[in-house]
Structure 1
Amino acid sequence: MAEQYLTFDIQNERYGILVSQVEVVLEMLPITRVPNSAPSILGVINHRGSVVPVLDLRPIFGITVQDTIMGTSIIIAEMKYANEEVPLGILADQVYEVISIPDEDIEAQPSIGKTIKESFISGIAKVQDQFVILFSLERILNVILKDQLILK
């Protein structure tokens, strides 16, 4: 069986998230910083009348944080948290396409060099001679909470 993933780049690395979790991709919007929030939480935006936290995954992925660049987008995704659907924005340098990846083309992350920080990775796929790192929003949230960072 194959799943569909929305692919995007963060600092020249390709990532994928399940399309079933994606609501919409927005052009960059002004983000309101929330005092004392975690480094991975840039702030909040107003999306369809709701306050939506926006994550910069760079601190979680161990990548140096940089200023936004031309083409930066916010992926609005929905995930379950405390038994309710919660919208979450993800900052992406460039959003590409939806691709279908068969289960047999997805491999587990190599155990060498693996840490708790990488526990968000659900698999790595090779697509047209390029690796796509697949991750789970639920696991990302768990990494944030394990670091004692509170998402409210």
Structure 2
Amino acid sequence: MSGSMSLETGQYLTYKLADEVFALDIAKVREVLDFTCITKVPQMPDFMCGVINLRGSVVPVVDMRLKFGMDRTEQTVNTCIIITEVTLGEDVAVIGALADSVQAVLDLGAKQIEPAPKMGTGLNTDFIKGMGKQDDQFIIILDIDRVFSADDLSLTGGPADSPQQMAVGA
């Protein structure tokens, strides 16, 4: 099976968006932050909330609910920002992913993960690495590198160490 490499045993950070549970490969997660003040940047697409200051670095924050066509994330005591590393070609960008809540870090074995479902020709599911199963619950395992397009990353100001990175006025 050609997709078996992406379905190997691993650790995944699980988080909720609405009533759905999603997961990211823990190797792509730098840290999880409590919700903090997000500076809005003019003329960004709806799914781009703005930017935060992370120890002196400007990090764009994406509302994952809006990115996936859901309702906007409402801030609660559990709302958090998952700081991820997204690779596109040879470039790496640091992006904050706004989530309703973080659940846990899970070890999922290959037998607990099925390939991404084929939804027909009209829907792109390339960003889904697989479907994890724990008890009676499905976990949508994302390939964070495929969630964002080159155009999305160009809106963030480029790779993490790029001189094109957005500046935030004080």
TM-score after normalising by structure 1: 0.88
The match for 1:101 is 108
CA distance in 2, matches of 1:44, 1:87: 11
Match of 2:11 in 1: 4
2:156 corresponds to which residue? 151
Whether contact under 8 Å (1:79, 1:85) holds in the other structure is yes
Name the count of aligned residue pairs. Answer: 149
Partner of 2:99: 92
Task: Give the corresponding residue for 2:65.
Answer: 58
Matched position secondary structure for 1:119: coil
| Distance in 2 separating the partners of 1:2 and 1:119 | 19
Distance 2:89 2:57 in 1: 18
Q: In structure 2, what is the equivalent of residue 78 of structure 1?
A: 85
Structure 2 counterpart of 1:115: 123
- Contact 1:15–1:132 (CA under 8 A) maintained in structure 2: yes
4+ residue segments displaced more than 4 Å: none
In the superposition, the TM-score normalised over structure 2's length comes to 0.79
What amino acid maps onto 1:119 in structure 2?
Answer: D
Q: Say which structure is richer in strand.
A: 1
Q: Which has the larger radius of gyration?
A: 2
How far is the alpha carbon of 1:79 from its aligned partner?
2.2
Q: Say whether 1:44 aligns with 2:51.
A: yes
**Partner residue of 1:25 out of 22, 26, 32:** 32
Q: CA RMSD in A?
A: 2.1
Indicate the percent of aligned positions where both proteins have the same amino acid.
35
Contiguous gaps of at least 5 residues in structure 1: none
CA distance in 2: counterparts of 1:26 and 1:16, whole angstroms: 16
